[in-house]
A = this chain, B = another copy of it.
Amino acid sequence: MKALTGMIMQSGSSPSTANIKYLCGFDAPDPFFYLHTSKGGHLLVSTMEKGRALRQSRSGTGVYTASDLGLSGKKVFDKVEQIKALMQHAGVRSLKVPSDFPAGLFQLLLGSGIGTSILKGDPCPDRAVKKSEEITKLKGCQKAAAMAMESAINMLASARVSGDGHLRVGREVLTSEHVRRRIQAVLLEMGFTASQTIVAGGEQATDPHERGHGPLKAGEAIILDIFPQSETTGYWGDLTRTVCRGKAPTGLKKLYRAVKAAQAAALSTVAPGISAQQVHAAVEALFEERGYETGTVGGKHVGFIHGTGHGVGLDIHEMPRVSSASTAILEPGHIITIEPGLYYPGLGGVRIEDTIVVTEKGWKYLAACPRKFELF
């Protein structure tokens, strides 16, 4: 009989936390172990978590505390002893660990004579291709993002423009913070959290991860990037629109049109069997054709300075990536963002992002959301 090998994972780092949730249905605020074998899964949790782990984990998952496994005294808190006991219980003789497993514990396992090797590649490659119930959950997340976007855009459209160019509601200057709170409040009502929502206008929008702060102005590009996580399912949505209150300067309007065309170009390439690199290349080609260069100007990186997209699921950024370095080939059930962007200090930043599902015939939006740049 061949000795059974198990994969031991610890929650608390990415992607292991999401992998464990995917494989056995359980997550918790503090680190815990999950041993996955061809015969089933085994959770080792604290005394306090046992009841919840029994309720939330998928059927067939064994749930144990250290004392259930016969540990006592100081051994209860010793991670190597915990893993040894779990292995014995599961009939496992050697271990694999995912690459994000903690190095300190990996070395202790080796030092204690347990045959342990690091898994090459993705411990959970199935996650990239979503099952139909996952697609349903992800549609719900994307719809929530679209509803929050609608509310935010209505807020910007209905703001008045004062003499100094600031957007105002009544007398009060409308800020990134106001719009972000509106987005978060709408999402909260629907059971979603979205703590890092981006509402960035003007120069701030030229930095893709700047969350945005302070007064919003007319005639500037304002990037709204909303990525809510469902409090019940743990899945994410991801949606970006760029708008301008009032008339946009000609250069900015051209920039917007280029990004919109780049997104359309990327989407037109998406189909099963197509490489993610090819989708990214469609964006690069469009920008090159229109003369938008990417590079370093005055020490700042400008142009198309990020990838075209990423998978979305139990992690906000997961497989497959859609970038120049990606080796992924698109498959039905892949859920990816398509989010080209251009960033030029002095002019502005524009990003347009939708989340789509790759289908047998091509692709579909997870949720509809209008694209409108100038708001009057």
Contact = CB atoms under 8 A, between A and B. Distances in A.
A98 interface: yes
Interface in A1-46: 12-14, 28-31, 46
Given A29-B196, A188-B181, A325-B77, A306 B48 contact: yes
B50 A301 contact: yes
Contact of A209 (B52, B196, B206, B325): B52
Copy total for this chain: 2
A185 interface: yes
A214 to B, nearest CB: 13
Contacts of A29: 196, 209, 316-317
Interface residues of A, number: 53
Nearest to A194: B193
Interface in A181-197: 181, 184-185, 188-189, 191, 193, 195-196
Interface string A96-140: 011111111111000000000010000000000000000000000
A183 to B, nearest CB: 10
A222 to B, nearest CB: 18
B104 A118 contact: yes
A275 B172 CA distance: 52
Interface string A63-99: 0010000000010010000000000000000000111
Contacts of A46: 306
A340 B162 CA distance: 55
A376 to B, nearest CB: 30
5 contacts: A12-B13, A48-B305, A74-B325, A107-B118, A188-B188
Given A48-B306, A106-B106, 5 more contacts: A12-B14, A29-B209, A65-B301, A101-B103, A103-B103
Interface of A: 12-14, 28-31, 46-52, 65, 74, 77, 97-107, 118, 177, 181, 184-185, 188-189, 191, 193, 195-196, 206-210, 229, 231, 300-301, 305-306, 316-317, 325
